[in-house]
Amino acid sequence: MKAEMTKDILCASLKNNLAHKTLDKISIKEITDDCGLNRQTFYYHFDDIYQLMDRLLKKEAVSIFLDQGELLNWKEGLTLLFDYITANRDMCFNALTSVGNQYIYRFFYDELYAIIRNNLENTVEGCGLDEKHKEQLAQYTVISWGSYIVAWMRGIVEETPEEITEFLIGRIRHDHPTILDI
């Protein structure tokens, strides 16, 4: 239990630092000094700052979705994701523009995939989609939605999260009219 608390403290420090600078500009020393721990404690729990970043994203974002169980529909899942990004915009943007940005991209992939795949499982029953088609549809949707959300974070897409959510769900409805309960 103490190990989990220590990891959470380190994650909180990283999150605090990410609100002000990119991941590649944050040192282990800054993180450990911020929480009153030593470098040795950090390395006992994590191999590097990127592993800490991975835990931070999984711990924070995954807990948001896990708290909701499997009951999230498309709109609820996207709303939660946008709420998280909006509440942590500086942190997410700094992670996105860092050398180690593959973690934020993987986060988008993992979280969007969970939302999309769960909804596909729950909405395509009786539509005749086989497992291969469901998987292809999930991957295509994750890649396109993830890219669109990243463009929004970078300021390329200027719509509101609500407008983006409606657009993305509308695309699913248009492209796959057999998916009824979206």
Q: Please list, residue by residue across 59-98, b when 16 or more beta carbons sit within 10 angstroms of its beta carbon and e when fewer do.
A: ebbeeebeeeeeebbbeebbebbbebbeebeebbbbbbeb
Q: What pLDDT, on a 0 to 100 scale, did the predictor assign at position 13?
A: 96
pTM over 0.85: no
Lowest mean pLDDT among 1-15, 94-108, 149-163: 94-108
**82 and 58, same structural domain?**
yes
Looking at every residue in the chain, the average pLDDT score rounds to: 83
Q: Is residue 181 part of a domain?
A: no
**71 and 35, same structural domain?**
no
**146 and 61, same structural domain?**
yes
**99 and 31, same structural domain?**
no
Find the angle CA(176)-CA(78)-CA(59) to the nearest 5 degrees: 130
**60 and 126, same structural domain?**
yes
Q: Is residue 117 part of a domain?
A: yes
Q: Is residue 182 part of a domain?
A: no
How long a stretch of residues is the chain? 182
Three-class secondary structure assignment of 79-91: HHHHHHHHHCHHH
- What is the residue range of 82's domain? 50-175
* Dist CA 13 CA 11 (whole Å): 5
Quick check: helix, strand or coil at residue 20? Answer: coil
Q: Is residue 180 part of a domain?
A: no
Quick check: helix, strand or coil at residue 181? Answer: coil
Find the angle CA(134)-CA(173)-CA(102) to the nearest 5 degrees: 55
**37 and 11, same structural domain?**
yes
119 has pLDDT over 80: no
Percent of the chain with pLDDT over 70: 84
